[in-house]
Amino acid sequence: MNSDRRAHWHHPLTALNYARAAVQVGLWASERKLITTHFTPADRILELGCGGGRVGLGMWQLGYHNVLLSDFSPEMVSITQGVLEQAGADLKAEVADACNLSYTDESFDGVIFAFNGLMCMRGQADRLRALPEIHRVLKRRGKFLFTANDREKGEHAKEWANEPQLPNGQLGDRWHETDSTPVFMHSSTEAETLAELRQFNFNIIQTALRSEIAPENASVRAFAGETRFYLAEKV
């Protein structure tokens, strides 16, 4: 197995799979509900880990035209830009590292890190670099929306109870098989993620499993299993 925890996101087949999801899956019902409840079309929003443009395109279709899409992977950014252009969406995608953002302080009304993107970073050290950067670029009272697998209450909780800890890893770190290459992901507990958020002065507005927010159609359920949403606010 490739030990590079970022390699999966540079693979062409990974990019293609996420581009297909942008067109065939679109926004989840739960994402749509939270986005339309907590963000306005006038808000300037940064999407981190945009993948193939699924969330950004879905937001544009809802009338959110002030969204900047970004990903650390040039391959993902390139295919996202193609998806946006094909759809006629006048949004921009660019390369950006969540651990070292180039944007000025208080640049955005909201930040979105969808589909467990924060947990697909290389480990806790990366998350603890990204969270203060996200806090920094948010305006006061700006909101941060993201998801994370819940290893205590998710659909695979029983398996997680017996999961061995990776060498030199944190409990919850794991490699998952995919159609392209193995992907590294951390599955957290609610208490663990809330503690990380509070460490960087985020106020917790809401946390709930996806199934508690809205029922999803078959294509969404096939694309992604149960996950937990977190909505936090900069204080």
Q: In this predicted model, what pLDDT tens digit does every residue of 1-29 receive, in sequence order?
A: 568 999 999 999 999 999 999 999 999 99
Residue 76 in domain = yes
Q: What is the CATH number of the domain that holds 141?
A: 3.40.50.150
Least confidently predicted of 58-72, 162-176, 194-208: 162-176
Instruction: Give pLDDT, residue 3.
Output: 85
User: Looking at residue 1, what is its pLDDT?
Assistant: 53
pLDDT, tens only, 71-96 = 999 999 999 999 999 999 999 999 99
* Whole-structure pTM value: 0.95
Mind listing the pLDDT tens digit for each residue in 95-119? 999 999 999 999 999 999 999 999 9
Element (H, E) at 175: strand 173-176
More confident residue, 165 or 139: 139
Pairwise CA distance, residues 121 & 72, whole Å: 10
Structure tokens belonging to residue 13: 């087949």
Percentage of the chain beyond pLDDT 90 is: 89
Instruction: Look up the domain containing 171 and give its range.
Output: 7-234
The per-residue pLDDT for 118 is: 98
pLDDT, position 157: 76
- The predicted pLDDT at position 2 comes to 61
Residue 168 has a pLDDT of 78
Domain count, the chain: 1
Across the range 146-167, mean pLDDT stands at 83
pLDDT at 163 over 80: no
Q: Let me know if residue 2 belongs to a domain.
A: no
Q: Distance between CA 216 and CA 154 in Å, rounded?
A: 16
What pLDDT shows up at residue 162? 74
* Nearest Cα residue to 208 out of 195, 190, 235, 221: 190
For residue 224, being part of any structural domain is answered with yes
pLDDT at 223 over 60: yes
Domain presence at residue 146: yes
Query: Which pLDDT band holds residue 167 (cuts at 50, 70, 90)?
Result: confident
Q: Is residue 1 part of a domain?
A: no
> For residue 107, which of 36, 53, 43 has the smallest C-alpha distance?
43
The token pair that represents 179 in the structure block: 């159609």
- Residue 164's pLDDT is what? 81
